[in-house]
Structure 1
Amino acid sequence: MQGHVHFAKVLLAHKRDLAMELDLQGRTPLHWASANGYVEIARELLQSDPLACLVHDEDGWTPLHLAMKKGRSNIVIELVKARPEVAEHRLSHGQTALHLGVSHNRLEALKVLVETVRDGDLVKAQDDEGNTILHLAATNKQIETVKYLLQRSEVGVNTVNRNGFSALDIVEYFPKDFKVIELRELLVHAGALRAIRFPTSTTHQVVVDNTNEENSTIVVDRASVAHPSTNTPPVKAFLPESFSGDIKKQKEDKHEEWIEKKRNSLMVML
């Protein structure tokens, strides 16, 4: 359509179902209008059929996903106004439109979506790896995005992903530079903690990384574990020094490998 509003109006007047027609990629005209920022055409298509904004292509992308990837803030407003539930649709790895906004460093579009939807569950949503948008912003060293997110009460600053990392954990494992120092100060000031320093609770969850890279979760109910008798002297157990050193090294290697893998993969998006 190349942004020609009058031409689009004429087509829709003669063919009302045009808004829902799919191309070979499973995309509607609204997908293309959203990706290219054609606000007036997007309005016409939504007026013709608001359900068009809920259609996902063969890769699972809705018009909102494309708009967030491209940073089309005005399109984001139109899509969410037409069907607010479009913001709930996730991609194949559990990413929301907000995850895409952070992955592609689209802060203004991110702000628009957060403040238009006003859904706390969406803001603190985790993808299939357990990453929140704060995890991704920290991984990409996006200082302004982190500042914005820390101002939102919905954001869980100490949420842990499936690898057991909080946002502060990610920052702590980066080589120190000015961005890392500022990110750390922002997070700590907002109450961020390293995951290993979290207060203990009655239930403790441990994520074990197996050699086949599939995570197993062990849940221990502390309340169900018998406490030692008050008459019994406490017994301390120590691991052999060499074994303890191996565990520490494996944990550090795992953290560094995950952070490097995540930073590289964030740049490879459809």
Structure 2
Amino acid sequence: MKNSSSESPLHVAALLGHVDFAKVILSRKPELAREVDSSRRFSPLHVVSQKGYVEMVKVLIQVDPEMSRVRDIEGRNPLHLAAMNGRIEVLEELIRARPLAAYANTIWGESILHSCVKHNQLEALKLVVEIMDDPNSLSAKDEYGMTVLHLAVADKQIETINFLVMNTRVEVNALNTNGYTPLDILAQSRRDMKDLDIVDSLRSAGAFKAIEMQSSVPGIGPIRTKFVPSVTQLGHNIKPLHWQKTKKEEDWLTRKRDSLMVVASLIATKAFQAGLNPPGSLWQDQSPTAGSQANNNTAISKPPHSAGTSILAYNDLSNYSQYLAYNTASFISSLSIILLLITGLPFKRRFFIWVLIVIVWVAITTMALTYRVLIIVFTPREDERTVTRVIEFAVKVWCGVMGLLLVGHTIRVAANLFKTFEILVGKKRGPTLSFNAHDLNKLAA
């Protein structure tokens, strides 16, 4: 008997995981294992595969192993449902019972590997790849021409991408129906912090954009097969490829931006406080002769002062001017960094991060110079010469270190820019490929 949803009692037992009850039903009426409901065309094996009831799967397979190949209304067999839900043990049992069921596709042309990637089930993907051990399945495409690598890149599943390119023979330059490679899919997606890692992973496996794969060899046309060019084949346009990659590095740009924001905020806070509280503090009283130059016909040796003005500016205008200039430079530099980081500008390139680091160096150096002025002001006149020598030497050493770092980083950035310029010029001219007779015959075939 069936209920209103055309589910047999075995469907209900499978849904609730009642193994003993299912065994009794199957012993009396084993044909119920082949019954499907009317809504989704689910068999009892579909239900238990989705739920992950391993013991129930074993019971149903013993009755009729061919049910592993029965498809529901969307063309999915029990293996698809197990893969979509990450049921590893169920997958093992189903593939062991009927290995050919692992090669079935849905009505959209999706394989079990597609189901694993679409539902971000990396462990299930690893299991299926290991058991099937078939490179052709990795290159299988759905109705849109998307391979599993296309899907993983579109969803930016960095761990899945690393697994596919490092541990399988996946086609890294496969084209979908729109003529896009996985690298093209990434370029068209929304920008993300994972993009740099994904690009490194794909490039290390020999991935190209579709436009980069156009061959300049007459009579052969576009090269659309996977190949790993050497440095001599591509001239100097492509760096040597590395097939082994260590653990994923933490995103360098994110860490640098966070560090710059913290440092800039601290410098801005201290510089603001130093501006409000200059050395020697402020006059708290009003000079009785403020605004006049004489009192009872007696000459004033120094100009009058007003409440709230700097005492250092009154006594030592030269040092006060240096202090104010250095502190203001430090304050403005740190504010500039904060402003640039919070405006949302795309500082995702190392060159722009380098510019921000240079501004931080300016802020830190001017803070050191501010410290120099403060020490000189605080030192008694009789000890000023000795202290001044020590401070001057320390500041010179500091500036020397900053100068060496600046020169070193400038040379590195200039070298990177020069290499980038060479690559861009090389792309405009088109890649220069060299083939021997054997290569040409093989490509022509």
CA contact (8 A) 2:88 2:127 kept: yes
Could you tell me how far apart the structure 1 residues matched to 2:74 and 2:190 are? 36
Q: Which residue of 1 aligns with 2:136?
A: 121
Select the residue among 16, 40, 65 that pairs with 2:30.
Answer: 16
Aligned CA distance change for structure 1 residues 175 and 61 (closer, same or farther; 3 Å): closer
CA contact (8 A) 1:124 1:133 kept: yes
Residue identity opposite 2:37 in structure 1: D
Q: Which residue of 2 aligns with 1:54?
A: 69
Residue identity opposite 2:36 in structure 1: L
Residue identity opposite 1:19 in structure 2: A
Structure 1 residues 7-16 or 46-55, which shifts more? 7-16
**Partner-residue secondary structure (3-state), 2:23:** helix
Could you tell me how far apart the structure 1 residues matched to 2:220 and 2:67 are? 45
Q: CA deviation at 1:111?
A: 0.9
Could you tell me how far apart the structure 1 residues matched to 2:58 and 2:164 are? 30
Q: CA deviation at 1:203?
A: 4.4
Residue identity opposite 2:24 in structure 1: V
Structure 1 stretches lacking a partner, 5+ long = 207-270
Query: Would you say 1:194 and 2:209 are equivalent positions?
Result: yes
Could you tell me how far apart the structure 2 residues matched to 1:128 and 1:106 are? 21
Could you tell me how far apart the structure 2 residues matched to 1:5 and 1:52 are? 18
**Partner-residue secondary structure (3-state), 2:89:** helix
Q: CA deviation at 1:118?
A: 1.5
CA contact (8 A) 2:213 2:222 kept: no
Select the residue among 97, 100, 113 that pairs with 1:98.
Answer: 113
**Structure with a larger share of its residues in helix:** 2
What CA RMSD, in Å, does the superposition of the two structures yield over aligned residues?
1.7
Q: CA deviation at 1:205?
A: 6.3
Could you tell me how far apart the structure 1 residues matched to 2:168 and 2:24 are? 46
- Normalising by structure 2, report the TM-score: 0.45
CA contact (8 A) 1:147 1:186 kept: yes
Could you tell me how far apart the structure 1 residues matched to 2:181 and 2:151 are? 11
Residue identity opposite 2:33 in structure 1: A
Residue identity opposite 1:23 in structure 2: D
Could you tell me how far apart the structure 1 residues matched to 2:22 and 2:157 are? 39
Q: Which residue of 2 aligns with 1:138?
A: 153
Q: Which residue of 1 aligns with 2:423?
A: none
* CA displacement 1:143-165 (0-9 Å, x = unmatched): 00001101234201111111111
Larger Rg: 2
Query: Would you say 1:69 and 2:84 are equivalent positions?
Result: yes
Could you tell me how far apart the structure 2 residues matched to 1:106 and 1:177 are? 21
Give every structure 1 segment of 4 or more consecutive aligned residues whose post-TM-superposition deviation is greater than 2 Å: 172-177, 201-206
Instruction: Provide the aligned length of Structure 1 versus Structure 2.
Output: 206
CA contact (8 A) 1:174 1:180 kept: no
* CA displacement 1:53-103 (0-9 Å, x = unmatched): 111112212111111111111111111111111111111121111111111
Aligned CA distance change for structure 1 residues 204 and 93 (closer, same or farther; 3 Å): farther
CA contact (8 A) 1:172 1:184 kept: no
**Structure with a larger share of its residues in strand:** 1
1:144-155 equivalent positions in 2, closer than 5 A: 144-155=159-170
Q: Which residue of 1 aligns with 2:200?
A: 185
Structure 2 stretches lacking a partner, 5+ long = 1-12, 224-445
The structure showing larger relative contact order (alpha-carbon pairs under 8 Å, at least 6 residues apart) is 1
**Partner-residue secondary structure (3-state), 1:41:** helix
